[in-house]
Amino acid sequence: MSEWVVDGLEADLDHFHLGPVDLTLTPGRAVAVLGASGAGKTTLLRTLAGFLRMRRGRILRDGTDISDWPPESRGLGYVPQGFGLLPHRTVERNVRYPMEIRDRPQAAQRTQELLERFRLTPLAHRYPARLSGGELQRVAIARALAAEPGLIVWDEPWQALDVLARHDLGVVLEEMRQTEPIPMVIVTHDPALAFSVADSFLVLHAGQVRNQCDAVALMRAPTDAFSARFVGYENVYDRPDLEGKGRSPFRSWLVDRAGPEGLAFASPTLSPSVSASPLWEGKVRSARPSPLGVTVEVVVDDLLVTLRMPPPVTPPLPTLGERLRFGIDPASLQPLGTRHRTVAGG
């Protein structure tokens, strides 16, 4: 297993600038790369894999500078969006491909082992066009492992998969991490799976690293609007939104507690016994049942606030236009834009 260090990586693609990005990847660790569309996630992966030229920085594998090495020499398994399986080869020949092109001995035997391990033996002679999403995925992992990579770099592994297949893949990845401690970099939009697989997170915004921290830190203290939404904060406000339409007690109260970029807080609990002060009053815009009780949206001073009624919910539900009083625990407020970084991976 190798240790990878990405040091001040910068890359340019047309008019897009990525970086600088620093990463340390040790065996058995997984980093999830998060960010909105166009944040530079795929650009980062393709630069790591050697398909885009770096403008600055270094990539070190076990201390060796491989920044200028071609993709095929890096020992890095890149799984692109859509898996990149060879459509003209069967499952078996896809899995054997990396060993075949490098003339590895015992390729046939190793292929059989991998097929067996990923429950692909019955599908060995099928072509990718005839496989389901979950099956394609297992082929992609088996093939990536066949190349014996020192790092697996995976772009959107869960894209276009249904709930059950996602669960299966989570299990497979977890198994893999226990048997083969290959470091992984995974780009994803899926919070649940990112938290189930990744030890640390790298949040990109417009090519810049916005946040880099471990899972607990990301959960507890998201530093930017994207991270806050990603970990499930329903109430996320940009600073201009808060300052927008003049001052009111509610807005002022929020602005005073906001960071340079704004403020986020999880849904306050709506219950009669709320003791937080002060108490605000909002007009109900919607109320709908959700797995965690009833989600209620109220409007206060033109700001939408999401509240939650924990189960058991006793009817009647709040009605449209009804006025509700709620409190926000000041300790739950998370200012945004205060930049803090801890070393990811490491």
Positions in the binding site for another protein (CB under 8 A): 46, 49-51, 70-72, 74, 76-90, 97-98, 101-102, 125-137, 143-144, 146-147, 153, 160-162, 164-165, 168
* Bridge partner list, 10: 56
* φ, ψ at 239 (rounded to 5°): -60, -45
Do the bridges between strand 16-25 and strand 4-13 make them parallel or antiparallel, or are there none, so unpaired?
Answer: antiparallel
Q: Considering only CA atoms, which of 62, 59, 73, 69 is closest in space to residue 27? A: 62
Least distance to another protein, CB of residue 149, Å: 8
| Closer to another protein by Cβ: residue 20 or 80 | 80
Q: Could you give the CA distance from residue 162 to residue 246 in angstroms, rounded to a whole number?
A: 45
Q: Could you give the CA distance from residue 209 to residue 19 in angstroms, rounded to a whole number?
A: 7
Q: CB of 6 within 8 A of CB of 21?
A: yes
Least distance to another protein, CB of residue 157, Å: 12
| Closer to another protein by Cβ: residue 138 or 251 | 138
Q: Could you give the CA distance from residue 122 to residue 132 in angstroms, rounded to a whole number?
A: 14
| Closer to another protein by Cβ: residue 64 or 132 | 132
Q: Could you give the CA distance from residue 218 to residue 168 in angstroms, rounded to a whole number?
A: 25
| Closer to another protein by Cβ: residue 48 or 258 | 48
| Closer to another protein by Cβ: residue 155 or 224 | 155
Least distance to another protein, CB of residue 49, Å: 5
| Closer to another protein by Cβ: residue 91 or 328 | 91
Least distance to another protein, CB of residue 76, Å: 6
Least distance to another protein, CB of residue 28, Å: 21
Cα dist. 338→122, 170, 238, 262, 334 in Å? 53, 32, 13, 10, 10
